[in-house]
Amino acid sequence: MQKLLETFLIGLSTGSIYALMSLALVLVWRSTRVVNFAQAGQAMLSTYIGFEIASRTEIFWLGLACAIAAGALLGAGVDYFFMRVLFKHAVSGPAAVVAPVIATLGLLGLIRSIVGLIWGGEFKSIKAPASTDGFTIGERTIPFSPLNLLIIVTVFLILIILAVIFQRTNLGLSLRASAYAPEIAQLAGIRTARTRTIGWAIAGGVGGVAGMLVTSSNFLSPYSLDLLLVFGFIAAVIGGLESMVGSVLGALILGIGLTIILNYIGTSLVFIGGFVVLIVVLLVKPDGIMARGRARRA
Amino acid sequence: MRKKIALFIFLGWVLLLIGDRVDELRVYQGAQIAMYAIALSSIVLLTGYSGQVSLGNGAMMAVGGYSAALSLNNLGSPVWFAFVMAVVVSALFGALLGTAAARLSGPYLAGTTLALAVGLPEIANQFAFLGGVPGILFDVGFPPARFGEEFTQYKWFFWIASFIALFALFITSNILQSRYGRTWRAIRSNSLAAELSGVHSGRMKILAFTISSALAGLAGAVMAMTISLVAPGAYTLSLSFALVTGAVLAGVSSLPGVVFGALILVAIPEVADVLANRLGGDENLNNYLPGLIVSVLLILSVIFTPNGPGEKLRRRHHKKM
Amino acid sequence: MSLNVSNLTVHHGAICAINQVSIAVPTGKLAAIIGANGAGKTTLLRTLSGLKHPTHGSIMWKGEKIAGIKPEALVRRGISHVSEGKSVIPELTVRENLELGAIWRRNAKESKESINQVVSIFPRLGERLQQRADTLSGGERQMLAIGRAIMAKPQLLLLDEPSLGLAPLVIEQIFQTIRDLTTSMNLTVLLVEQNAMGALKIADLGIVLNLGKVVAINHAQALIDDPAVRAAYLGY
């Protein structure tokens, strides 16, 4: 019972980071109908920048702020310079299915190589803003640490901020309209291209937070965020790519599920466990857990 | 058909001649090119023909490599049987994956296979009989004595790899030109229309996965032979990326193009090496420059020649007619 | 003449959808555009609102050339297009759909006033402001679509088959409302319709399109009385 509770709490903490990543992926998917695999690359670069600031100033939060800013700029940049070019050379023929996905993969590889060239491949670490030692309750120490708690709180705050932006502001309304029905939004006078770029910027900033939070308890390397991408994607799929609430829920479920596997079965199976969860969900509920019978379009 | 057999035999003979005339390094690279050609053909079939974007071919190569190694070492089988095992086991895995993935398309399929590509090699770390991080040896043995002392190990690799590649490409070419190939292309362009014409698209997609994985597994076994080892580090995500890049460059639906793509994939590390040395030879450069070149090539080719450089030439040819 | 179309030619790939069409619509008048399916009516509206670029010809609105300008920009010049079919966003609430129409004006107070105005024209919408748009009936959705267009305070209103799929009673209401709006807000209106009779009855001007060409332009009543038009489009 005790172990289950601890597993649950840690799963919540891990899952909340995945939630950020999956949210960013869903945001971009809804506005451009592209799954941006380069999101991991953007998050990685933003995190390296955050790492530089954090290690020089010894202030984690400053690094986080810079990571957010860098992520937002990157996100906007990728949409403006890369995606628009991509869609201008709109494709036909056998590669039409393939092109946008591969292009974002290429971008991921490109960013990763640039990061490697600049910073090298050795593991770096960021000093965590809170202790990683478990809380002591009475005589026992549980694996759940202040850092875990901080992560949950931070993500929760960000989710609230995003929810407010999306549901209560004109910007949010424009974002949603542009994502649901770009042509109608255009005819209503919304500058859809600009709005989309803002959406990408927000997604990029969110990705930067995810990267920094993951790195606060792990090492940073040009490959360290691959897992975040995969799990973020799986979480998004579980929630149904169309739903932002779903992606958060999916991420939490995934986080808890993976932690269960980790604690009760074994470490290396975590990765394949994620894959299995994905397959199971896709077979059982292909539209994600939040689907209301809306068709899953590719 | 007879023409094709003649062509392949001719190619085999040419390769033999080349193998005699070039140095060790080139012969080794020749083996690598053969290996990549097989791997790329698996993508041409799966993505170019049946339209399914999969990032998991690197993982399938791992399945093939490990099956071959286990068959050789644990079952004590002869070398040729090890290769057969590679094909069979990866075909099985491919069928499984295909069944799970048959209803997916586009980014869902890509992401799922991405998850596989990242997750599968890690399994080797979990189970002891898979050798863990250092991996398992894969030793195909020395070349037969009757070829004489001049006949090096690498040349032997080259012969085996080329033979297998020619064989695999021959069969794949026939499959692609058969009604299976036509059916896949029909599914790729318009799955609904194909279904209405009586095509069982789910089954065909699974078939595509099966054969594609078999090819990838074969390539994985060939790779194992050339490096004499199977280990998780050989089958990283970068491998899957490289394969996709090679396929796009080759013309994702062009089988002859796979040779071109394979050539480029083998050339890139060498070009990167030369460049890195010119630019100062620092370790970072060496590690990440190849990846940089691959990524840039991939992006450029996806934007400008998504159907391969062959497409633009073909179009111009058509216009003249 | 506030809207002046001259020699407009529009292609869909290799197909010529609109062939040298010239139309002039005076300010404050309602022009009904009728014709068979595929006549080019929808393409005409989409070109006027900036969703499509013409191959040749010009469009003058309030004395300025507007061909090829982006839709968002044209909204700011007073053009509102209610496109065919689902011109509401089902996942948003009624209020949000309306607010969408006025975001670009960046004036919260004006936006509120406009919503009140729309609600007074379409009371049914007022009852459902908080509901999601996909809970509305067909007629209510059409009202919402028109309402959203009005939120932009347009001067030129382009309506594409507003009667599609609606019950006859509802159609009558909508047509009457369109007529009233044209007069009360001094709108210039282009009304594309399959329901030729209903459209011509409320229109000042009638335009008949066939295969991308204008085959008749006249006062609406004249077209109603024209036996050829009657036979072809009015069913008697």
Half-sphere exposure of A296 (CA within 13 A, CB side): 22
Q: How far apart are CA B248 and CA B134, in angstroms?
A: 32
Q: What are phi and psi of C38, to 5 degrees?
A: 80, 5
| Domains of chain A listed by start with CATH number | 2-284 (1.10.3470)
Domain membership of residue B306 (yes or no) is: no
What is residue A95's predicted lDDT score, i.e. its pLDDT? 56
Minimal C-alpha gap between A287 and chain B (Å): 11
In CATH terms, the fold of domain C3-89+156-234 is Rossmann fold (3.40.50)
Predicted confidence (pLDDT) per residue in C20-61, tens digit: 999 999 999 999 999 887 778 899 999 999 999 999 999 999
Domain membership of residue B262 (yes or no) is: no
For tokens 């009728």, the residue is C34
What is residue C204's predicted lDDT score, i.e. its pLDDT? 93
End-to-end CA distance of chain A: 42
Q: How far apart are CA B104 and CA C133, in angstroms?
A: 30
* Candidate from B118, B125, B299 with C-beta closest to A230: B118
* Candidate from C83, C99, C103 with C-beta closest to A187: C83
Q: Is the dihedral of CA A8, A13, A16, A17 positive or negative?
A: negative
What is residue A298's predicted lDDT score, i.e. its pLDDT? 37
Q: What is the DSSP string of A68-128?
A: HHHHHHHHHHIIIIIIHHHHHT---STTTTTHHHHHHHHHHHHHHHHHHHHH-SS-B----
Q: Does B203 have pLDDT greater than 60?
A: yes
- Taking contacts as CB-CB distances below 8 angstroms, the residues of chain B near A34 are 107
The answer to whether the CB atoms of C72 and A186 lie below 8 A apart is yes
**Which segment of A174-183, B57-66, B183-192 scores lowest on mean pLDDT?**
B183-192
- Taking contacts as CB-CB distances below 8 angstroms, the residues of chain A near B284 are 116-117, 120-121
Predicted confidence (pLDDT) per residue in C165-188, tens digit: 889 999 999 999 999 999 999 999
CA dihedral defined by A63, A68, A72, A75, rounded to 10 degrees?
Answer: 90
Mutation site, B118, B209, B245, interface A, largest A CB count within 10 A:
B118
The domain locations on chain C are 3-89+156-234
Measured between CA atoms, the residue of chain C closest to residue A177 is C89
Q: Does A195 touch chain C (CB under 8 A)?
A: no
What is residue C33's predicted lDDT score, i.e. its pLDDT? 93
Half-sphere exposure of A242 (CA within 13 A, CB side): 16
Predicted confidence (pLDDT) per residue in B210-252, tens digit: 999 999 999 999 998 888 888 887 888 778 888 888 888 777 7
Residue B4 structure tokens: 């094709």
Domain membership of residue B314 (yes or no) is: no
Q: Does B321 have pLDDT greater than 70?
A: no
Q: Does A12 touch chain C (CB under 8 A)?
A: no
> Which residue ranges in chain A fall short of pLDDT 70?
88-98, 137-140, 266-269, 285-298
Q: How far apart are CA A198 and CA A217, in angstroms?
A: 30
What is residue A294's predicted lDDT score, i.e. its pLDDT? 41
Instruction: Decide: helix, strand or coil at residue A234.
Output: helix
Task: Please give the angle made by the CA atoms of B198, B202 and B205, to the nearest 5 degrees.
Answer: 110
- Give the count of domains, chain B: 1
pLDDT, chain B, mean: 81
pLDDT, chain C, mean: 90
Q: How far apart are CA C144 and CA C160, in angstroms?
A: 14
According to the per-residue pLDDT averaged within each range, which of A56-60, B80-84, C117-121 is highest?
C117-121
Residues 6+ apart with CB under 8 A from B285: A117, B276, B279
Host domain of residue B35? 2-230
Q: How far apart are CA B316 and CA C229, in angstroms?
A: 50
DSSP letter at C93?
A: B
End-to-end CA distance of chain C: 33
Q: What is the ipTM of this complex?
A: 0.89
Q: How far apart are CA B219 and CA B265, in angstroms?
A: 14
β-pair partners for C81:
C158
Q: How far apart are CA A89 and CA C118, in angstroms?
A: 42
Residues 6+ apart with CB under 8 A from B11: B166
DSSP strand pairing (C205-210 vs C30-34): parallel
Q: How far apart are CA C144 and CA A154, in angstroms?
A: 40
What is residue A295's predicted lDDT score, i.e. its pLDDT? 42
Least Cα distance to B308 among B261, B272, B243 occurs for: B261
Instruction: Decide: helix, strand or coil at residue B45.
Output: helix
Contact criterion met (CB below 8 Å) for B298 and A109: yes
Minimal C-alpha gap between B39 and chain A (Å): 17
Q: How far apart are CA A253 and CA A19, in angstroms?
A: 10
Domain membership of residue B254 (yes or no) is: no
CA B127 to chain centre: 26
Domain membership of residue B30 (yes or no) is: yes
Contact criterion met (CB below 8 Å) for B241 and B42: no
Q: B226-238: string of b/e by CB count within 10 Å (b at 16+)?
A: beebbbbebbbbb
Residues 6+ apart with CB under 8 A from B64: B86, B87, B89, B90, B216, B217, B218, B219, B220, B221, B224
Task: Please give the angle made by the CA atoms of B59, B61 and B63, to the nearest 5 degrees.
Answer: 75
The answer to whether the CB atoms of C87 and A191 lie below 8 A apart is no
Mean pLDDT of B154-160: 82
Contact criterion met (CB below 8 Å) for B71 and B77: yes
* Candidate from C71, C101, C152 with C-beta closest to A186: C71
Let me know if chains C and B touch, i.e. at least 3 Cβ pairs under 8 angstroms. no
Helix or strand run (H / E) with residue C207: strand C205-210
Least Cα distance to A226 among A289, A286, A274, A288 occurs for: A274
β-pair partners for B230:
B136
Domain membership of residue B313 (yes or no) is: no
Mutation site, C47, C93, C103, interface A, largest A CB count within 10 A:
C103
